Structure 1
Amino acid sequence: MKNSKGVKIGIILGIFFSIFLYANRGEEVYNKVCSQCHQLDIPRDKLMKNFFEMNNTLLNLKAPTISQISYSMKQKIGDPREDIDIQRMEVSAFIADYIIYPDKQKSVLSPKISKFFKTMPSLKGKLSTEDIEAISNFVYDYDQKDKGSKSVEYVSFERALKQAKKENKIMIIQATAPHCRYCAKMEKEVLKDKKIVDLLKKEFVVVSVDLSKEVLPMDLRVRMTPTFFFIFVNDKNEKVKIKRIPGAWSKEDFLDILKESIIAKNAK
């Protein structure tokens, strides 16, 4: 029994050691190869001003940031709301193919952004298989580094509906668009506030719908983004009550909106 326990501990330690090594190796590959063109991160509002107002003359970027690439890949490759390990493998396969056979047609970036960049040169023969795997993990994990617990957990509509019924929570459907400045402002300044994130986690289930890729469920319609739909689900008779809140809000105002919704739910 002692030997068996020792073997298990050794395996666990080996796994963590491997993860640590790959994390370090990925950063080394970035510093040695990728950093020549790709910056790690730039504030989103500054990026949007650079691309959509100043045609890349503000920052004169040679290539998208690692954070941009990481976020875009996880939105467009696989299903971002399902199995993370499967998506990680799909993203890794995409990166391995792209850096050897780069092609703008395969880009995960919006054409309105990718038009400012030339097709990257092939790295065929310049990176080992281990280097490619390491940089893939580094890129995949990069945009999670600054999130921690201060981020809203988005789930699929089907999962949200079940969870709202089971846990007696309010479902929020957030309608967004990729080039909506106010959506980005809400995401960056409001939906990362600790009080708001904690309250959303406790009392709500949140669905985010990118209108450039998906249709809103429940025949919902919007005239502007962002728009928030508060769905009050009755688990007994399947009836729902919907409250529409359009526009971007300050932290204080959005927190009040959430609290008012909770009061309305409890008053039923």
Structure 2
Amino acid sequence: MHSAHSAVPTWDPRQYLRHSGHRTRPFLDLLARIPQLPTQGAPARIADLGCGPGNVTVLLADRWTDAHITGFDLSAEMLEHAEKDWAGTTLGGGWLDFRRADAAHWTPDEPYDLIVSNAALQWVPNHPESFAAWIAGLRPGGTLAFQVPGNFTSPSHALLGELCDTPEWRGRLGDQGRRFVHVLDTGDYLARLADLDCETDVWETTYCQLLQGEDPVLDWVKGTALRPVLTALGEDREAVDAFLAAYRDLLREAYPPGRYGTVFPFRRIFAVARKRL
């Protein structure tokens, strides 16, 4: 039994995928920096932690066509979507499957060539404490690679936290607007991974995204940062509408639409750590 303050967010795969182009680009940039995997003459074994609806998991299959790739996620809604769209044999003869697992407690139960995570670890408190176990589960020469949002001080997220903390909402929402702030600075990630005797590459990129439509930043965060809030408010439609209206007005002021759309800067943090041979 979970209280409202600790409930696992309910995810909406269709809402998340409404901005799949912008959400996929950082993963493609991460993918481009992953070095050759250690498997020689045998299919690679790959884990995707926090695979969501599987739309980036399948990109792993495009690069490593004969690999056995497993997507892990805690959300039944996301896994159902991933299973329906992507599970089975890939065009290159590899195999794609999905399993329920909590990244906060997952450890490799077999040797992996690559453990990757795309925009998921920000939801996992203390995820750096798992780096040692994950890297121990890699074959020599294997890689741990992830990217996480680094925009938690941006107006979209700061305003959400402040709204949740107003007298009107504090009792009901508590820390729901700040539940995802579990991201280290780039230097901290580099130090932790280098200390585990990995060849480590850590960098950050700010994507200046041009979003279209009415209230596009609100539409964006409905798929991610707003999920704990919407989960906590549940079926109370009046409360949901009131909260979204207040948040929408704040976002309109912070992100005014321009002639060609609404500019939404988004910082991302990347890390690629290769286990030494």
Question: Could you say which structure has the greater relative contact order, defined with CA pairs below 8 angstroms and 6 or more residues apart?
Answer: 2
Same fold (TM over 0.5): no
TM-score by length of 2: 0.29
Bigger proportion of residues as strand: 2
